[in-house]
Amino acid sequence: MHVLEQNIQQKYTFLNRLVKKRIASLLEKVISLLDFLENCSRNSCEAIECLENQIRDAAHLAEDIVESSVVNRLLPESTSNRDKILIFFCSDSEKVYKEIDSLMNQVMKIEDNVVLEDQQPRTWMPSKTGLGGNRLIVSLDNDLMEIKTRLVSESSHLETVSIVGMGGMVSQEYNVREIILSLFDSMPKSTDKMHKKSTHRRHEENTEGLKELLYKSLKGKKYLIVMDDVWDDEILDELRRSFPNDENRSRIMLTTRLEQVGLHCPRSYLHRIHFLNEDESCSLFCEKVFGENSFPPELETVGKKICRNCRGLPLSIVVIAGLLSTATKTHHEWEKIAENISSVTSNDEQCSKILDLSYNNLPQHLKGCYLYMGIFPEDFNIPVKELLKLWIAEGFVKSTGPKTFEDAAEEYLLDLVQRSLVMVSEESSRGKIKACKLHDLLRHLCTNEPRRGNFFLVSTHETPLSIRSLRRTIIRQGKRIERGHRVSIHPDKNFLPGVKSPSTPLPRSIIYFDRHLVTKFVYFRLLKVLYIHYSMIDLPKEIMELVNLRCIDAKFREGWYLASIDKLRNLQTITLHSYGKSFELPQQIWKMQQLRHVQFSWSITLPCPPKARVKGEIPVIFLENLQTLSVLENFRCTEAVLKRIPNLKKLGVGYSSPPEAPLDWGYYRLHNLARLHKLELLKIEFSMPSPSFLQNITFLASLRKLSLMGCRLPWKDMTIVGSLSNLQVLKLRYKAFECPEWEPIEGEFDQLKYLLLAGLDLKHWRAENIHFPKLRQLVIRWCSSLEMIPFGIAEIPTLDSIELLHCSPTVVTSAKEIKEEQLNMGNDFFRLRVNDYYQLNTRKSRMILEAAVEANSGCIVS
């Protein structure tokens, strides 16, 4: 539907009246099918599931025909073949018409036999509750005490504490090299020499060398290693020799669902997490569904029946609760759920029946988004910012009214989280979802073959992909079915990148996670999405022929041909990472009205927009969809530029004062930033002093996040920043301000939730709770001159955490005093994190800090 709507809206001169009429007629039929699927989304039966797959195949075929015709007409060589292209389009579209008419007949038969409970399309209203939700631990106090007792036991030998439970986040795949590297990342870098060795060996293929280095890094130290999701005892055999036993009470703790894995290590203590009893199950269920500890009277009997049928498995209870929290709360509806799970036992296969209920209950617009998450590798920490851009590029997101596509996509994700189908793994400094994950059982919903059909293919050991298999089509019931509409290539799998092959209509999306890819470009002429997560790629000139491309996110070395970028007229997102390179965007960038996000890891220069000719032959072009622009080098905020990007939300700029520019900051017209009424995030970096910078800039009230670096401003100018009424996040990096003293003024920073101080020469910081009344997170890094954190911070009722990196022992001591005060105030969830305390310069300082840590085990040290 999205593809058809977009092609109707696009002002393609080559789409004659006949073609547009056929597309519009096809759109009407597609909308009818979509309405049917939306209305029957809660009615799961074999006929509907089969029809849904048939509709998906027909939609893929229609999409291929329409976009192939458009792409063929846009390519330069199409001039002499336009009549032939039109004939092919008419012939192929006629086949689609017949296929969709056949599906419509099946829809009518199903509607006659199935009572659709909800005849109106459902609307979704986002919950007002926060992302964190309730931190609920059900009757695990005794378990936690037993585990802690084993970890701190008097035994001097290296021991393993194995926690065995049901349905945890268990991976069936593992990579020893990646595990060792992740251990290095979480370890304190005890010496510069050892750190250089681990950094150097990251690029080596010799896993045995990494094992030896890990052993030497741990030798002589007391350590605790925690391994989650252990599925196979082979991984323990692989790593055992890397863990020295110096008889200093070191410990290994692992979680697994297999008892034989828990007992595999010598000197292993096994602790089995018990299933919940009925009261515990009901408590968890009610908390998730009602936010209370008890059922309403009319649902108590059937509610307890549901909890009993969940067999004490927390995952089952949470998933069912997520399902019922958004469903109609009637005895009849709940009785149907209770009957569907009455035979469920505590194993994965039967738990998947519950998960199927959650998937089938999803509204149609969320099913595609959820299935799409299966393209990411198992246990992958999915960056939400990238996920939402991919959803939009794929056409899964529909926006209505003033809501942007990004806002709608964020609501889609929040809905999936609230249904307990997606787990939040990381939150941003503004409290939004920054990264998410899929539980392995929930991921099965996305990846089981019958459901995903031709939605996407994943390269696995069992199903290695090659260019030949990607090009292959199959004939089924007289129609052509494309295989691998989207292709995801995971690490260590057998896939070879392709070369130019214009006759290949497959696939639409290449999602690449292999670290060892890529020297050549994978070319498919209808490609919409090219997402390469790890590898460095060479981009050839042929990429400019991908006129269907919506999203490109890649790291590249050479060959980015910006001069003809306007050929990619459908491009929405361009995220390119290079190192040490600066690019000047061509003037044609102002013609690309579909652009939403332009982000380079290095500086880019934005050209002046073209001037209108006499009599308005060239109208002023507004990039109304553009929301992200970063990082611009020496950006002059002229009125002519800013009025063409009126909806910009995120802007990153860097200033190095080019020789032709005077040092007067008025040259850069920073006062004009006030024209960007929707700007929420501003990041400014300097490579030279800019003491008059704040006097020349006009900040907007809409600004929520500000990041400054290298400005070398006096702290007295901080009042300009503090007066921003909606500022929630402030990051001050590397000499953003210069002066040893900072004393905020009451009434400033009244909405600030996150404060980062990094690489500053601040020595005396005087503040009370009234200066940061809503602060949640305080992060201080590399501020070696700072003597202490103001104790007034301890009285902030909203404070959640303090994180310290390379700070003095007195700062650590003051942080610990703040922690103690927070605990006395009843904030049991406050967290203090102290990083890299081994790196302190003097032995005396190190001893002081170690003693402080030993005195309070609530401090996390890594």
What digits encode the pLDDT tens for the residues 579-603?
Answer: 666 778 888 888 888 899 999 887 7
Residue whose structure tokens are 């894995």: 261
Angle at Cα 723 formed by Cα 720 and Cα 725, nearest 5°?
Answer: 140
Nearest-CA neighbor of 742 among 761, 770, 758?
Answer: 761
Angle at Cα 128 formed by Cα 127 and Cα 130, nearest 5°?
Answer: 100
**CB hemisphere CA count around 461 (13 angstroms):** 2
Q: Compute how many other C-beta atoms are within 10 angstroms of the C-beta atom of residue 515.
A: 13
Query: Which band of pLDDT confidence, cut at 50, 70 and 90, is reported for residue 448?
Result: confident
Is residue 699 within 8 Å of residue 676, measured between CB atoms? no
147-186, pLDDT tens digit by residue? Answer: 888 888 888 889 999 887 654 436 555 678 888 888 887 7
Whole-angstrom distance, CA of residue 259 vs CA of residue 548: 52
Is residue 819 within 8 Å of residue 792, measured between CB atoms? no
Is residue 627 within 8 Å of residue 648, measured between CB atoms? yes
Q: Higher pLDDT residue, 207 or 469? A: 207
Nearest-CA neighbor of 38 among 125, 112, 104, 116?
Answer: 116
Say what percent of the chain tops pLDDT 90: 19
Is residue 222 within 8 Å of residue 853, measured between CB atoms? no
826-857, pLDDT tens digit by residue? Answer: 887 789 999 854 344 444 455 554 554 444 44
> Which neighbouring-strand residues pair with 255?
163
Whole-angstrom distance, CA of residue 172 vs CA of residue 472: 30
Q: Higher pLDDT residue, 841 or 224? A: 224
Burial label, 784 (beta-carbon count in 10 A; 0-12, 13-18, 19+): middle
Q: Which long-range contacts (CB under 8 A, 24 or more apart) does 563-570 make?
A: 563/588, 564/588, 565/589, 565/592, 566/591, 566/592, 568/544, 568/592, 569/74, 569/594, 570/6, 570/594
| Non-local CB neighbours of 808 within 8 Å, separated by 6+ positions | 784, 786, 787, 845
Specify the DSSP class assigned to residue 609. P
Question: Rounded mean pLDDT of 36-49?
Answer: 68
Residue 119, both tokens: 């005849």
Query: Which band of pLDDT confidence, cut at 50, 70 and 90, is reported for residue 41?
Result: low
Whole-angstrom distance, CA of residue 328 vs CA of residue 750: 41
Is residue 441 within 8 Å of residue 348, measured between CB atoms? yes
* Domains in the chain: boundaries: 2-113, 158-266, 276-362, 363-451, 730-862
Helix (H) or strand (E) holding 124: none
- Say how many residues make up the chain: 862
pTM for the whole structure? 0.70
Give the rounded distance of the alpha carbon of 722 from its chain centre.
30
Lowest mean pLDDT segment, chosen from 75-89, 367-381, 800-814: 75-89
Q: Compute how many other C-beta atoms are within 10 angstroms of the C-beta atom of residue 814.
A: 22
363-451 folds as Arc Repressor Mutant, subunit A (1.10.10)
Strand order in the sheet with 423-427: 382-383, 433-437, 423-427
Burial label, 373 (beta-carbon count in 10 A; 0-12, 13-18, 19+): buried
Kindly tell me if the per-residue pLDDT of 660 is higher than 90.
no
Query: Which band of pLDDT confidence, cut at 50, 70 and 90, is reported for residue 716?
Result: confident
User: Which residue intervals of 248-363 are DSSP H helices?
Assistant: 259-262, 278-289, 300-309, 314-325, 331-340, 348-360
Helix (H) or strand (E) holding 498: none
Helix (H) or strand (E) holding 23: helix 17-39
Helix (H) or strand (E) holding 383: strand 382-383
| Residue 151 backbone phi and psi in degrees, to 5 | -70, -35
